[in-house]
Chains A and B, each alone.
Chain A
């Protein structure tokens, strides 16, 4: 039977290969992927590609780009490019943590809800309804304004950016829970689930083997959307003064640039790098999302 095994693997690879083939045809998807991988690489390599430390001050204060500083310096003489890489890392972290956590929690709740049905389902769906109808940003403001109080729990200091990520999860999990529940419900009606049941499958098996693999593409698209949104919301909260005062993030950079009236002073290198970085990050996520959408939803494909 060894032949079958090998064959199996080959087929599996070719399935991914086919997906990649469809993906590759979409110029947006390719652009997005290239952009994102560049940004992620930059964020990860961060300190090693700039000659400066993130809080290293120099004599050149408030210098425009050039003269050894790729994106100039701020009023402390810190290298803006170095700060940008730091910020990129935190922003991507917020995006990745908040985005994936939202969808993972949403999926768990959505699938559970669809599966248990009955009163439990009704209750969970009512809860999501309530959170969904509340305006997101004001709710986030409300929760984030409590962040400094939450951050100082005992001796352990939770980083504020993590709290922002958590606030995002709290506010946005119902979105994915709803979508996933809808998908899971329609899957539950499908005959192959009944078929598995009649073959003696337990609930855990059905969820693991049948429901989750089938909601996975939807999850993936949602994670991408969610990450993109989380990065933007982090910027919103930072702009409104509820960001992490201690760690640079893209939103914080913008907020600081703005408090220092960088546009009016002509210090564009304080203002545009974080702005463009946010734009590129979210844009790459959006592009990847569109490409994925076309794979998951073949009707959207161009014919």
Chain B
């Protein structure tokens, strides 16, 4: 695992809210504020080149959403995602430009006209200022829109970020054969000018994920493959375009234990060979330990603890991480669980989030303050962060 310090992904205060849909009747008769699901709430992390970054947490904590955000398949609500230092998430689009133009040249003047009639001179001057700002913004936007580099970056983004899905039965189109599936990104992104090169690459890729001989596989359809073979096809597909970064969303959780190792080994090997960074999403701490250099533990859309894998798993500081680790069954029959799980109840809804620390309703260490102060990530040491106001007390850490 290369330890070069070039960040591939910088996620800074990324938030994703989903508006809660209301029924027509509720919307008509019940006056209430729009509620949101806090799927991802203000998370920050960095993934270095060639590094495998693990995202760990119970289902429903926002891991997969984070993955989708990084893949640009969902638009974030706020925050910044930098890919190699460039913000491609706020990609400049024509609709965005048009709405800005409309704002600057249509709605603002109307407001200005209205202010002329109803408001004072001062407000008019203020309005002129705001309007000028809007026009300036639109102009900048337009310049960026024509910026070749940004456009190219967005265009090439697809080539550099790929995904491996959880369910190999679902992620391969049932009407494509293996050749078509693996070649699809190549063809879509027009990586190679000729079809022969595409096919050669596909064969090579299949070979490198362990589907040998590849000629036997290219004409098969997904339903003719075993689960493990399918996931290998998925891996091959993700690696065909030589991405710099791959989101692996629970890639082996649906597979038999016996085939997991092989696939993980393949992934590891390929990422080492090609220097690909991974966002490895999993709920399985053991897997995270094997695969990841860094991990972040998520709870209800927040990162509660982040740091090097070994340190976190050996000596978790956050009560939630402790609970997660305690829940992992030990293969040793004599190792009896001496205490109950240090956690209360089930994962609550992401809509009505408790004030203060999100974990406090379930935390056995919770005190009064926990329901008042929303803890931010604190640096424990370099590269190790935790979000708990009592972590020192709990873990008996002295300053």
CA of A15 to CA of B195, assembled, Å: 24
Q: Which of A143-151, A155-163, A196-204, A231-239 contacts B (4 or more CB under 8 A)?
A: A196-204
Size range of the chain B interface in the assembly: 20 to 34
CA of A120 to CA of B198, assembled, Å: 39
A214 touches B174 (CB 8 A): yes
B170 touches A191 (CB 8 A): yes
A213 touches B175 (CB 8 A): yes
Q: Interface readout for B268-301 with A: 1 if CB under 8 Å, 0 if not?
A: 0000000000000000000000000000000000
A1 at the interface (CB under 8 A from B): yes
A11 at the interface (CB under 8 A from B): yes
Q: Which residue of B lies closest to A201 (CB)?
A: B188
Which chain A residues lie closer than 8 Å to B42 at the CB level? none
User: What is the distance, in angstroms, from A2's C-beta to the closest C-beta of chain B?
Assistant: 10
User: What is the distance, in angstroms, from A189's C-beta to the closest C-beta of chain B?
Assistant: 9
CA of A3 to CA of B177, assembled, Å: 16
Given A1-B196, A7-B219, A11-B219 in contact, is the A214-B175 Cβ separation under 8 Å? yes
Q: Interface readout for B122-165 with A: 1 if CB under 8 Å, 0 if not?
A: 00000000000000000000000000000000000011011101
B163 touches A198 (CB 8 A): yes
Main secondary structure of the interface of A (DSSP, over half): helix
Which chain B residues lie closer than 8 Å to A191 at the CB level? 165-167, 170-171
CA of A197 to CA of B162, assembled, Å: 10
Contact of A196 among B170, B184, B218 (CB under 8 A): B184
User: What is the distance, in angstroms, from B254's C-beta to the closest C-beta of chain A?
Assistant: 11
A27 at the interface (CB under 8 A from B): no
Given A11-B177, A191-B171, A192-B173 in contact, is the A199-B218 Cβ separation under 8 Å? no
Q: Which residue of A lies closest to B72 (CB)?
A: A198
Which chain A residues lie closer than 8 Å to B174 at the CB level? 214
B237 at the interface (CB under 8 A from A): yes
Q: Which residue of B lies closest to A199 (CB)?
A: B185
B219 touches A199 (CB 8 A): no
B71 at the interface (CB under 8 A from A): yes
Contact of B158 among A192, A194, A200 (CB under 8 A): A200
CA of A209 to CA of B174, assembled, Å: 11
Which chain A residues lie closer than 8 Å to B73 at the CB level? 194, 197-198
Report the number of A-B residue pairs with Cβ-Cβ less than 8 Å.
71
Which residues of A89-125 have CB atoms within 8 Å of chain B's CB atoms?
Answer: none
B189 at the interface (CB under 8 A from A): yes
A1 touches B199 (CB 8 A): yes
A210 at the interface (CB under 8 A from B): yes
Which chain B residues lie closer than 8 Å to A213 at the CB level? 175
A195 touches B163 (CB 8 A): yes
Size range of the chain A interface in the assembly: 20 to 34
A303 at the interface (CB under 8 A from B): no
Which residues of B171-212 have CB atoms within 8 Å of chain A's CB atoms?
Answer: 171-175, 177, 179, 184-185, 188-189, 195-196, 199-200
A20 at the interface (CB under 8 A from B): no
Which chain B residues lie closer than 8 Å to A7 at the CB level? 219
Q: Which residue of B lies closest to A3 (CB)?
A: B215
A192 touches B215 (CB 8 A): no
User: What is the distance, in angstroms, from B180's C-beta to the closest C-beta of chain A?
Assistant: 9
Which residues of B190-245 have CB atoms within 8 Å of chain A's CB atoms?
Answer: 195-196, 199-200, 215, 218-219, 221, 234, 237, 241
Contact of B173 among A1, A198, A200, A210 (CB under 8 A): A210
Which chain B residues lie closer than 8 Å to A198 at the CB level? 71, 73, 158, 161-163
Q: Which residue of A lies closest to B161 (CB)?
A: A198
CA of A192 to CA of B175, assembled, Å: 11
B165 touches A200 (CB 8 A): no
User: What is the distance, in angstroms, from B221's C-beta to the closest C-beta of chain A?
Assistant: 8
User: What is the distance, in angstroms, from A93's C-beta to the closest C-beta of chain B?
Assistant: 31
CA of A201 to CA of B189, assembled, Å: 8
Which chain B residues lie closer than 8 Å to A205 at the CB level? 188
Q: Which residue of A lies closest to B190 (CB)?
A: A200
Which chain B residues lie closer than 8 Å to A8 at the CB level? 177, 179, 219
Q: Interface readout for B65-97 with A: 1 if CB under 8 Å, 0 if not?
A: 000000101000000000000000000000000
Given A1-B199, A199-B158, A200-B158 in contact, is the A192-B189 Cβ separation under 8 Å? no
Q: Which residue of B lies closest to A213 (CB)?
A: B175
Which chain B residues lie closer than 8 Å to A192 at the CB level? 170-173
CA of A196 to CA of B175, assembled, Å: 13
Which residues of A171-221 have CB atoms within 8 Å of chain B's CB atoms?
Answer: 190-192, 194-201, 205, 209-210, 213-214
CA of A11 to CA of B163, assembled, Å: 29
7 A-B pairs besides A8-B179, A214-B173 with CB distance below 8 A are A191-B171, A196-B184, A198-B161, A199-B185, A201-B188, A210-B175, A214-B174
- What 9 A-B pairs have minimum CB-CB distances, sorted nearest first? A199-B185, A200-B158, A191-B171, A191-B170, A192-B173, A213-B175, A191-B165, A11-B219, A198-B163
Q: Offer 20 A-B interface pairs, CB within 8 angstroms, sorted by A.
A: A4-B179, A4-B215, A8-B177, A192-B172, A194-B171, A195-B171, A196-B188, A197-B73, A198-B158, A198-B161, A199-B158, A199-B162, A199-B185, A199-B188, A200-B158, A200-B188, A200-B189, A201-B188, A210-B173, A213-B175
